[in-house]
Amino acid sequence: MSFIGDIFGGYAAKQVGKFNQGLLNQQASLEARNAEINKQTFLTVDKPRIIAQHARDRSNTLVNFIKSGVDVSRIDESPFLVMLDETIEQGFDLEIAEFNSTTAYQNQINNASLLRAKGEGEAFKGELAFRTAMLKAAGKMGSNYNQTGSLLG
């Protein structure tokens, strides 16, 4: 009668596989949702904050030059070049922040895809264990029948 244990074991393996798949799918959904939240947070909070800080920095630089008595309207003079260089650095800084945000978003979406695939693997593993246990049980029942004339052994 050990085949009965094989049947229950196979059924349990199948259920565990389905449960694990459900957990991994839920984790994948959370990962994808977090990616969307992080992307939106960057677009609505971080990016405007960075742009506002850059505007304040440019304004402060201009005020400091004006206070020092330097004519900032002359292109070939150092203050203009300093302000131009600062603007270029700020633009580069914003591009780096956007790149990092996009990369983080893509990584989270990729992780969600991997979790879903892992969930499919868990379901497959459970189904395979179930089928193996059913075949094992059938083999034991056949062996019992051949030896004793009864499926129960």
Is the pLDDT assigned to residue 36 strictly greater than 90?
yes
What Cα–Cα distance (Å) separates residue 142 from each residue in 8, 10, 96, 118, 149? 18, 18, 68, 36, 9
Tens digits of per-residue pLDDT, 57-108?
A: 989 988 888 887 776 666 566 777 888 889 999 999 999 999 999 999 999 9
Tell me, yes or no, whether 69 lies in a domain.
yes
Number of domains in the chain: 1
Tens digits of per-residue pLDDT, 109-147?
A: 999 999 999 999 999 999 999 999 999 988 888 888 888
What whole-number distance in Å separates Cα of residue 80 and Cα of residue 74?
Answer: 7
Q: Identify which of 6, 47, 1 has the alpha carbon closest to the alpha carbon of residue 130.
A: 6
Tell me, yes or no, whether 97 lies in a domain.
yes
Tell me, yes or no, whether 94 lies in a domain.
yes
Tell me, yes or no, whether 153 lies in a domain.
no
* Residue range of the domain that includes 103: 2-148
Tell me, yes or no, whether 12 lies in a domain.
yes
Which is it for the CA torsion 44, 46, 28, 106, positive or negative? positive
